Amino acid sequence: MRDYLGILDRAYDGEYISEENWDLEKVAASARRLVRKYRLEWDRNQIIPTDDALIDAVFQAGLEMAIELGVYCRSTERIIRLTLDEIEESLRAMPQTLVMGEGKDARTLYARRIGDERAPLFFGGSPGSPIPEEYFLENVISYVQEPLIDLATCGTLTAIAGREVRTGQPLEIVATRRELQLLHTALARVGRPGMGMLAAQSSVSELGDLAVAQPNLLRRCDSHLVPLLNELKLDFRNMARAVNSWEYGMINASLPCVIVGGLGGGPPGSAVINVASFIVSNVVCLADYHILHPIHIRHVATTTREVLWVISAVGQAFARNAPAIIVADIYPKSGAGTIELLYETAANAIVNSVSACHLEGCGSADGKLPNCSGLEARWMAEVALAAYRKKMTREEANQWVLRLLERYEKVFAQEGGNPGKPFDQVYNLKTLRPTPEWQAMYDQVKTELKVEGLI
């Protein structure tokens, strides 16, 4: 804690810079320079990079960016510089294993390697998606009842008793506590009460997060998010999350949502920023593990070619150079009840699995609507495990992803996207099973890809 107090001091004592100048003069300029220096390029048909020299160069460029820039504190408009010793020690100290949950339901996350002999683990839920209170419980159960799901996450309660939850206001506390109560109820109902959670998704500010840090809500064996803001920024609200969890003893998951096509430009520059973001998060977010969640500047989804490349490059870069526990999100453009959602999920699952990541999902329909269900989480796990069991090489995985892209890439040009249907229209709320129509789509795609040799 004494070391972190020094970080807080730097938030007041560091060099002043406006946020606009940080974005343009520091982050964007540094990304352009480092892409040129390390000759970083990407091929839109090589979704999963196989050039180890390129992957190592992405890591070195990100490390250089972290050392050069540090982190911007939005609350004080100051730069928090990090020393080389701090950065190197934080990389060495990253947990290689991490137990989440308790009792028979506990699972051990681990830092995966490329071609790892151990299977990935799966977080089931639709992180951040707005889920109505009236079927929040049923939505969570649809995920945690799936045998292949190891850990729980969930959507966000955006209204309580018909009242909108506003960031930083008292109802945010109520919503986050209600979320955790419903999560525990769901786990008890499916007979998995000790399952570990990545929760407090309803806490946009620090208020809800602080309110649930207690053993009967967010336990010490659970985790929560300490976001890093776009790009390479932090504020006192999120630093409060880190300080509170350090004192309480729960697990921190860093969350930088690097915008592909933003300040970093194309995929190479965005990957460099993502590597730098993970490195600084080790220090300023007190990260125990990382959520890999780059998003497309126009399409949001993680299933575009550009974002899939960033996911693969970053996952592989850490596996080769600084192993850490990385959980890669799946945020498809399509929503539940559409066949394209299953193709997008399959492509994303293959990329995540062969790129040394664990998996979390699915934030269907860009995570913007309650159009999500446990069925696509089951599919995510089945496809990722198929890639693992077949010992799929990166070259083989790339060919599969290209074939799947042909079946769903059209959704990015569709006006209004491909939102699908809300949870209560694709699941029976009494039986908590997919509707016949949604089940039939899943069966069709699974049969199709089984014939082709994927499953």
User: Residue 80 pLDDT > 70, yes or no?
Assistant: yes
Instruction: Write out pLDDT tens, residues 99-155.
Output: 999 999 999 999 999 999 999 999 999 998 999 999 999 999 999 999 999 999 999
By residue range, what is the domain housing residue 360? 97-452
Instruction: Write out pLDDT tens, residues 199-215.
Output: 999 998 999 999 999 99
User: How does DSSP assign 143-196, residue by residue?
Assistant: HHTSTT--EE---B--EETTEE--TTSHHHHHHHHHHHHHHHHHHHHTT-TT--
Task: Enumerate the β-bridge partners of residue 253.
Answer: 225, 289
Instruction: Write out pLDDT tens, residues 8-36.
Output: 999 999 999 999 999 999 999 999 999 99
Whether 282 is covered by a domain: the verdict is yes
The mean pLDDT value for 226-252 works out to 94
Helices (H), 250-393: 267-284, 305-321, 339-354, 374-389
Whether 423 is covered by a domain: the verdict is yes
Sequence-separated (6 or more) residues with CB below 8 Å from residue 382: 148, 446, 455
Angle, alpha carbons 103-174-177 (nearest 5°): 5
Whether 80 is covered by a domain: the verdict is no
User: Residue 234 pLDDT > 80, yes or no?
Assistant: yes
Contact 415, 310 (CB under 8 A): no
User: Residue 50 pLDDT > 90, yes or no?
Assistant: yes
Are β-strands 433-434 and 427-428 bridged in parallel, bridged antiparallel, or unpaired? antiparallel
The mean pLDDT value for 437-454 works out to 98
Of 213, 206, 219, 363, the C-alpha closest to 285 is 206
Which pLDDT value is given to residue 304?
98
Can you give the pTM of this predicted structure?
0.97
Helix (H, G, I), strand (E, B) or coil at 303: coil
User: Residue 258 pLDDT > 80, yes or no?
Assistant: yes
Q: What percent of the chain stands above pLDDT 70?
A: 100
Which pLDDT value is given to residue 247?
84
Whether 56 is covered by a domain: the verdict is no
Whether 133 is covered by a domain: the verdict is yes
Whether 327 is covered by a domain: the verdict is yes
User: Residue 223 pLDDT > 70, yes or no?
Assistant: yes
Whether 45 is covered by a domain: the verdict is no
Instruction: Write out pLDDT tens, residues 296-335.
Output: 999 999 999 999 999 999 999 999 999 999 999 999 999 9
For helices 305-321 and 339-354, give the axis angle rounded to 10 degrees: 20
Dihedral sign for Cα 437, 440, 442, 448, please. negative
Which pLDDT value is given to residue 34?
98
Which pLDDT value is given to residue 1?
58
DSSP state of 122: E
Give the whole-angstrom CA distance, residue 179 versus residue 192. Answer: 17
Whether 218 is covered by a domain: the verdict is yes
φ, ψ of residue 222 to 5 degrees: the values are -105, 175
Output the domain CATH number for residue 221: 3.20.20.460
Domain total for the chain? 1
Instruction: Write out pLDDT tens, residues 378-390.
Output: 999 999 999 999 9
